[in-house]
Amino acid sequence: MTAVLDSGISVRVRVPASSANLGPGFDTLGIALGIYDEIQVTTTGSGLDVDVVGEGAGDVPLGPSHLVVRAIERGLEAAGVWVDGMDVVCHNRIPHSRGLGSSASAAVGGLLAANALVGRAAPESVLSEEQLVQLASEFEGHPDNASASILGGAVVSWTAQGPAGEPDYRAVGLSVHPDIRAFVLIPAERSSTAETRGLLPEIVPHRDAAFNVSRGALAVVALTARPDLLLTATEDRLHQPQRAAVMPATHRWVTRLRANGIAAAVSGAGPTVLALTTTDLPVHLVREAESDGMTVREVEIAAGGAELF
C-alpha cells in the first residue's frame, strides 16, 4: 500500500564527509569527517524545485537526475511512500570529486531525509541504520564512504552475499582513539572515482595482498588503541601506487608527509591527502603544501553520522 504525504512537511538533514580506505583498507575502512552538507526537503503539491548553494552549484543538475533527489526518491520508494512534489535545498560544503565522499554523503543525506518524511506518513516503515547502510551502498556503490557517513567515527565495512547472490552490505563502527587528529590536503584538481578505479589491476600478487591484510588489521588497532602504530598501519600496496601517476601532487605529498613520520594516505580515490596524527602538522610542511596548490586544514573526526537538525 502507498501512503501519500501531505504538502508542507519539512525535514532538515546534515551529513558528514568521509575518507575511505585509510591506506590499506581498500573498499573497507572509512572515517567520517566534520565537513557537513545540509539538505532541506519540503513536500509540495506538485513539481520539483532544486536549489544548490556552495560546492557543486552551477555544476550539478537541478532536476530529477540530481543525486540527492534520486536518493530521496529511492528512500520513499523503499518505504512505499509517495509525495506529489518537493522543494530540495542543498547547502554543500563537501568538495566534489576530491576523495571526500561527496557522492556517498549526497546519497546518505537524501535517504535520511526520505526516512524522516516516511516517519511522518508511515512510522512503521522507517528504515533502520542497517537498512540505510544497505540502501546507500547499493545506491552509491561505496560502502566504506556511505557507512562512515551513516555511523560516524571510523568504520569497517564489508560485503556479504544475500540469499539470491545479491550484495549484502554490512558495517561496524570503531571507537577512534581520542588523541587522533585528522588533516586534509585538498588539491584544486578533481578526480573521478569511476575513472581512477579503472586503473586498478584485476589480479594482485599474493605478497601484496598479504601485506595489505596485515596493515589493515593493524589499522584497526592503531585507530582504536595504538596511534603510535598509525604510520605503519596506513601503508598500502593495492591501490595508491597504481593511481599515483594520475595524481602526482597527491603522491608527492603522501610520500613527503610519510618521510616526516606522518601517517598520510590517499583519501578515497583521491586526490585529497588524509593525514592522521596526534600532533599539529609541522608549519613548514603546511606552508610548502599550500604553495604547491593544496588547501590544508584540520578537520574534526565526526563522532556521529548523518542526523536531522
Ligand X SMILES: N[C@@H](CCO)C(=O)O
Ligand Y SMILES: Nc1ncnc2c1ncn2[C@@H]1O[C@H](COP(=O)(O)OP(=O)(O)OP(=O)(O)O)[C@@H](O)[C@H]1O
Residue ranges that bind ligand Y, judged by CB under 6 A: 20, 37, 56, 60, 66-68, 90, 92, 96-104, 106, 142, 145, 192-193, 268-269
CB 54 within 8 A of CB 93: yes
Sign of the Cα pseudo-torsion (145, 151, 157, 159, in order): negative
- Quote the least distance from Cβ 247 to ligand Y, whole Å: 11
Would you say 100 is a known binding-site residue?
yes
Would you say 54 is a known binding-site residue?
no
Residue 192, contacted partner among ligand X, ligand Y, none, CB below 5-8 A by kind: ligand Y
Residues 22-81 interacting with ligand X (rule: CB under 6 A): 26-27
**Which C-beta is closer to ligand Y: that of 157 or that of 227?**
157
Residues 166-195 interacting with ligand X (rule: CB under 6 A): 193
Which of 142, 177, 215, 237 contacts ligand X by CB under 6 A? Answer: 142
- Quote the least distance from Cβ 190 to ligand Y, whole Å: 7
CB 250 within 8 A of CB 270: yes
CB 251 within 8 A of CB 244: yes
Strand 263-266's sheet: what is its strand order? 263-266, 273-277, 181-186, 295-299
Burial bucket for residue 242 (CB in 10 Å: 0-12, 13-18, 19+): middle
Compute the distance between CA of residue 29 and CA of residue 21 in angstroms, rounded to an integer. 5
Residue 72, contacted partner among ligand Y, ligand X, none, CB below 5-8 A by kind: none
Would you say 119 is a known binding-site residue?
no
Compute the distance between CA of residue 265 and CA of residue 77 in angstroms, rounded to an integer. 38
Residue 27, contacted partner among ligand X, ligand Y, none, CB below 5-8 A by kind: ligand X
Site residues for ligand X per CB under 6 A: 20-21, 26-27, 101, 142, 144-145, 193, 197, 239, 268-269
